[in-house]
Structure 1
Amino acid sequence: MLGGFALAAGPFSGSWEMEIGLSPQQTKPFSAFSSTLNAGFTLSFLTLTSSSDFIIDGWLWQEFGLCATIGFISFDGVMLFEPQSGSFLYTQGILTLDFNPFVVRWYAAMTGSDSPYGLNYGHVLDLYGEIGGGAFTFESQTFFGAD
Structure 2
Amino acid sequence: MPQKSETPQLGGASRNSLVGTFRDCLSLCEPHSQAVPPLIVTHIGEENLTSREEGGQHNNPYPNTPGAKGTDGTSQEAAAAIAPSAKRLRRLAMQCLAILGEATPLEAVAVAKVCRESLQPRFSELRALGLVEPTGERRRNPSGKFAAVLRLTDKGRAAL
- The alignment's TM-score, normalised by the length of structure 1, stands at 0.23
Please tell me whether Structure 1 or Structure 2 has the larger radius of gyration of its CA atoms. Answer: 1
Higher percent of residues as strand: 1
TM-score (norm 2): 0.21
